[in-house]
Structure 1
Amino acid sequence: MRRHVSITLEQNNDEMILTAYSRNTGKVVSIEVNENTLHSKSLNEIIDSLNIFSSGKRNDKAGVLIDSHKDDDSKKIVIPNKNGILYLKINDIIYFEADRSYTYIHTTNGKKHTVTNKSLSEYEQMLESCNFFRPHRSYLINLNLVEKFHRNGNLTIHLKNGIEIPVARRKTSAFHNMMLSIL
């Protein structure tokens, strides 16, 4: 079987991030390349890792990776989509929306990105330490971008882009607790 792997190299100051995306497996792997990495890993070890990754033998949570070594403003999420790979800053994501087999990512620049390979549950697990909350089965929101919330019958959240998100009754208490914890 022929393997298709796209590799990109992103450079920021003293570090480089080598990212490989496998069209066969739909997975992404990122390797931070800095002075320490170059001393501890040979080029052959990196190539071996990429070969294992592209063959699909590795079954981990590749596909959504967060640069957790960075401060909150520069954390990124790497997401494969039908057009290649999206690199999105976590703080730029307003909310995720599930619609049948598609997941849409709405960002602060007004764009709506379509992703089909991950469920909201998977994004929820990956972003649980980044102030994301799932108020409803169809939405995962960035709590840092909540403008206000009110109760008019059911609880409704107003996000910075003007979108209103409903809160399921069973999630109301958890939402209040999350908002209190980040204030």
Structure 2
Amino acid sequence: MVKAVIVDDEIHARESLTRMLNVYYPSITVIGKAESIKSAYDLIKNQCPDIVFLDMQLADGHGFDLLKMFDNIPFKVIIISAYQEYAVKAFKFSAVDYLLKPVDPDDLVKALDVALAQALNDKQQERLNALIENTRNIGKKDKLLALRNSDGTYVVNTSEIVRCQSDGNATIFYLVDGNQVRVNRTLKEFDEMLNECGFLRCHQSHLVNQRYIEKISRFPSSLITMNNGDVIPVSFRKRKSI
């Protein structure tokens, strides 16, 4: 049995999520509900749940205030938010499991499948810390990006990424320290996330960080040379804009 706690200051939201879990994920048992940071902290300390559904906006503070009360977080966290625009990007950058209100049953099942498949030692603490930092830095160019793969989670600053390269349905990240990280998400997803951070899609298979471009060649073919020596092709339709 997987034990869950729901933290939300709206009674109808707590009851709705409980009903959905009973129908769509019966292996999860809701062992308690809380509407405030204090009551949630006491409940979690006493009941030791496996997973906590945490609304970001509570009557007595922010969901982050609750998380900061734990030196180590010994439970899975799924964030719930009613704020779609700025929040979604922060969640995606931080690779945090989240649900948007009103909660859709399909999204609930997907989030739980991902959350429960990951071990507790997959650097959830670092991902949540990255989320807190990214939420503080809305609108700033550099952000923390959590790269999740089968080996675990790597949290890097976007300023540490030289370039990204498509590898089928995966993406390889080339970092300034020479390391590479392969993530099972498409380059298109990261292009949408990183374009506001100074990244340039120069080719169907390549995304480059403009701060590390050393040279752009036009003839005999269009190429971008990065300051680490990597040479990246520029597609025909991207030549003019670049």
TM-score interval for Structure 1 and Structure 2 normalised by the shorter chain: 0.5 to 0.7
2:171 to 103, 117, 125: 103
Q: Hey, what does 1:82 align to over in structure 2?
A: 150
**Residue ranges of structure 1 left out of the alignment (5+ in a row):** 4-30, 176-183
Identity of aligned residues (%): 25
> TM-score normalized by structure 1?
0.62
The 5 Å alignment of 1:1-183 reads 39-41=61-63, 43=66, 50=78, 53=97, 56-57=107-108, 67=134, 69-70=136-137, 71-72=140-141, 75-116=143-184, 118-175=185-242
After TM superposition, where is structure 1 displaced by more than 6 Å over at least 4 residues in a row? 63-66
Task: Report SS of the residue matched to 1:140.
Answer: strand
CA distance in 1, matches of 2:60, 2:109: 23
Question: What amino acid is the match of 1:39?
Answer: G
Structure ranking higher in helix proportion:
2
> What is the RMSD of the two structures over their aligned residues, measured on CA atoms?
3.9
In the superposition, relative to structure 1, how do residues 58 and 144 fare at CA in structure 2: closer, same or farther (>3 Å)?
farther
Task: Choose 1 or 2 for highest CA Rg.
Answer: 2
> TM-score normalized by structure 2?
0.48
Task: Report SS of the residue matched to 1:134.
Answer: strand
